Amino acid sequence: MRPFTVAAAALIALCTAVPAQAAGEAPTRERGFFLTVSGAENSWVRGVMLRCEPKPGGHHPHAAKACGAIHRAKADFGALADDPHACTKQFEPVTATVLGTYRGRLVSWRKTYPNACEMDVDTGHVFRF
């Protein structure tokens, strides 16, 4: 549960860092996903914000490809299309997490993989950051 707590805390920190709206401007609701990947026992953590609507954006280096994969899976991160390639059997667990919204519904997902290559096979461009 600790990686999810770290991801949630990071998402809250990002939300509070957003500058205040200028007087008279209508507030815009930031939608998207906060994606994280962490090593065993949170020995390291990487995170990125990904927005898919109205167009791909955020700090994800492959935003358009990642959003395309998420749309095809209808934001079911367990149903992302595989990107098959060979991996070693090395055991260095990584945990991928998602917290955000997709078309008005809350999305929360977490999965631990035996290594980063296995995660990449299972999630394609979504966690390539």
Q: What is the mean pLDDT of the chain?
A: 84
Note the pLDDT tens digit of each residue in 37-82: 999 988 999 999 999 999 999 999 999 999 999 999 999 999 999 9
Note the pLDDT tens digit of each residue in 73-95: 999 999 999 999 999 999 999 99
State the pLDDT at residue 44. 96
φ/ψ of 15, rounded to 5, equals: -65, -35
Assign 75 to helix, strand or coil.
Answer: coil
- The answer to whether the CB of 54 falls within 8 A of the CB of 27 is no
Its pTM stands at: 0.75
State the pLDDT at residue 69. 97
CA dihedral 35, 29, 102, 58 (to 10 degrees): -40
